Amino acid sequence: MENRIQSFFEKSLEENQIDNELYKKYSVKKGLRNEDGTGVLVGLTKISDVVGYKKVDGEKFDDYGSLYYRGINVKDIIEAQRQEKRYLFEEVCFLILFGYLPNEQEFKEFKQILSDNYELPPHYLEGNILGFPAKNLMNKLQQEVLMLYSYDDNPDNTETRETLEKGINLLAKIPSIVCYTYQTKVHYFDEQSLFIHHVNQDYSIAETILSLLRDDGNFSEKEAEILDISLVLHADHGGGNNSTFTNVVISSTGTDIYSAVAGAIGSLKGPRHGGANLAVKKQMELAINEISTQASDEQIRTIIQRILDKDFNDKSGLIYGIGHAVYTLSDPRSEILAAKCKELAMEKNRLEEFEFYTRFAMVAIDEIYTRKGIRVCTNVDFYSGLVYDMLDIPSDLYTLLFVAARTVGWIAHNIENKLYSNRIIRPATKYVGGIDEYENIEDR
């Protein structure tokens, strides 16, 4: 069968090739991208704004990046944590979902609602997670989200308030599902001891993740703070990113929130989107193994040249963690995470490794500019893998933590689209094939 399918496939390539020039002829935007790499506008939003360049008289200029949640700069949100200890991710969740910062009483009530929804349904853990281990945790998480549909008394109610309530329930439960599916996986497939802790309702979501992942359930205040900030930085990134758009496209058909979130998780699994932080980690491990963290900048440049020449790492020619579709001079998320990563590296005695990452990024940015004449920057994925590694978070969970953070953005855009657009998303494609009469086709 395999050989026959291969021959069919090879013939299909000859018969159905689409000339690249046709995209320009019909002004079709590949990947919904404009010629300058910016995204084609597909909607309006008040949830978040991704600013990476400025326009003067219609001409685009590189600029330092900014990310806004409901009009508030994410840098200002992070800075607020310096003033006092607070559950920052939960506060950002409220901001993203409701459009304003909560007062003390509103936040207390919202945190209680989240805490009340931490617990999984009775016997869910034993019946659906422990009893059905899986090697691929992203696929397993999709299954678990769809399984929660069965525990909902009215899962197909897609009214906005119902969607909000169901979304908050998912936001609260996904962190524990992520941790429990991982513990089950390493127990059954890696033959490690199984540690299952009950959730502590007094904990933040960041604290919950750390406590459920660790055998002893312990973590430091610095570790919780940095994971909390990482979740904040991943909470949303506009309505055009692939997983958020996927969620809105699916939801626009009128289907349930569980199907929409499961589809978004499938999107986030890809290495060009949520899986990029894991790709960065593998790339950097290979580089360090090849030249060590004490390598000179010239040795680093040689590795980077080999990557760009498709002679190192996965031979894709891509330097993972460098470059972004919108940000040009800087990704504000990367800048914030880099600063926190350095703090953690000093605490964990891994400063030399962090400095290698920094030098690698500087040389890569310079080499790309030398070759292509374009300005790029590190993106959020460049440092997030190193942060997670220093937090003793297994690499299997890197993309799943992205899900735990981004769920709030998916829910918010889902609701916003229901409220203000509420039309099925149905773009068009241009047919560029020939026309044949069926009865005249010979040699069938």
Q: Give tens-digit pLDDT for 75-124.
A: 999 987 666 667 899 999 999 999 999 999 999 999 999 999 999 999 99
Q: Convert 74-110 to b/e letters by CB count within 10 Å (16 or more is b).
A: beebbeebeeeeebbbbbbbbbbbeeebbeeeebeeb
Q: How confident is the model at residue 441 (pLDDT cuts 50, 70, 90)?
A: low
Nearest CA among 239, 237, 242 for reference residue 267: 242
Q: Across the strands, what pairs with 154?
A: none
**Predicted local confidence at residue 85, as pLDDT:** 63
Separation CA 402–CA 355 (nearest Å): 25
State the amino acid at position 424 in one-letter form.
Answer: I
Whether 168 contacts 114, CB under 8 Å: yes
- Average pLDDT estimate for 52-74: 76
Element containing residue 60 per DSSP (H, E)? strand 59-69
Rounded percentage of the chain residues whose pLDDT exceeds 70? 94
> How far does CA 170 lie from the centroid of its chain?
17
Q: Give tens-digit pLDDT for 141-186.
A: 999 999 999 999 999 999 999 999 999 999 999 999 999 999 999 9
Helix (H/G/I), strand (E/B), else coil: 72: strand
pLDDT at 13 > cutoff 90: no
**Predicted local confidence at residue 440, as pLDDT:** 61
More confident residue, 54 or 151: 151
**Predicted local confidence at residue 2, as pLDDT:** 73
The answer to whether the Cα torsion of 353, 272, 336, 33 is positive or negative is: positive
Separation CA 444–CA 442 (nearest Å): 6
Q: Give tens-digit pLDDT for 406-430.
A: 999 999 999 999 999 999 999 999 8
pLDDT at 443 > cutoff 60: no
Q: Give tens-digit pLDDT for 308-323.
A: 999 999 999 999 999 8
Separation CA 57–CA 36 (nearest Å): 16
Question: Where do the structural domains in the chain lie, given as residue ranges?
Answer: 67-272+394-420, 276-390
- Average pLDDT estimate for 69-73: 95
Looking at domain 67-272+394-420, its CATH superfamily turns out to be Citrate Synthase, domain 1 (1.10.580.10)
Nearest CA among 232, 231, 251, 254 for reference residue 243: 251
pLDDT at 405 > cutoff 70: yes
pLDDT at 53 > cutoff 80: no
Q: Across the strands, what pairs with 53?
A: 62
pLDDT at 274 > cutoff 90: no
**Predicted local confidence at residue 55, as pLDDT:** 61
Structure tokens given for 56: 């003067």
Looking at domain 276-390, its CATH superfamily turns out to be Cytochrome P450-Terp, domain 2 (1.10.230.10)
pLDDT at 304 > cutoff 90: yes
pLDDT at 324 > cutoff 70: yes
Element containing residue 91 per DSSP (H, E)? helix 88-98
pLDDT at 388 > cutoff 80: yes
Structure tokens given for 328: 């040009």
List active site positions. Answer: 324, 381
Structure tokens given for 96: 């993203």
**Predicted local confidence at residue 59, as pLDDT:** 62
More confident residue, 325 or 301: 301
CA distances from residue 79 to 52, 95, 208, 360, 393 in whole angstroms, order as listed: 21, 16, 23, 27, 25
- Average pLDDT estimate for 179-206: 94
Rounded percentage of the chain residues whose pLDDT exceeds 90? 75
**Predicted local confidence at residue 277, as pLDDT:** 87
CA distances from residue 172 to 39, 169, 178, 202, 413 in whole angstroms, order as listed: 32, 5, 11, 13, 18
